[in-house]
Chain A
């Protein structure tokens, strides 16, 4: 018998996804990959919201997910266009190459 999926499993999965995203963001230099890592972290947060919403029976958690998804979509629009324009200027540029504004 398949045991019921505990909400804590979802939380653990979310924590793992978030950690992968965070580590990826910190160690990878490709802007696209870094961007995907951010998405991963956002969706880890979404998963946490949904899991806890079900566990606590509170619809607010699921509502928050919609907000996050809208914000993430907006972020994709802005972020991707920035990345595209960067790569146009400097093909193959990494995040570390974009350090012109350093002090």
Chain B
């Protein structure tokens, strides 16, 4: 089942152990190479809490089920502290080719709701396979040169 970054914003995050709603999705963060959802961010700024993808037991259409309350944790490193401020948010991010030319802005990202693997990145009217993504950072998402116009 395919999900999108844009479509999942605001979806409620629920503890499977207590059935308590723990908050809503602020955005999703991908790993450094940008091939996989690394964590779900609930809240923003100082209140941002991270749920590792391994703690997500079901990424459903109506709710994201996580193990329990302890699945929410504070940012663990510099990359996550940057993510808490929204600096690694992929939607709206500048897309650069490895040759240093801009490809546009990222409109959306789709991923497999079971595995968390990224599928496609949408730039304007183009859909680019996630295998072309080389990295994601605070400045840009970098794509390999096969994506040059």
| A joins B in a complex | no
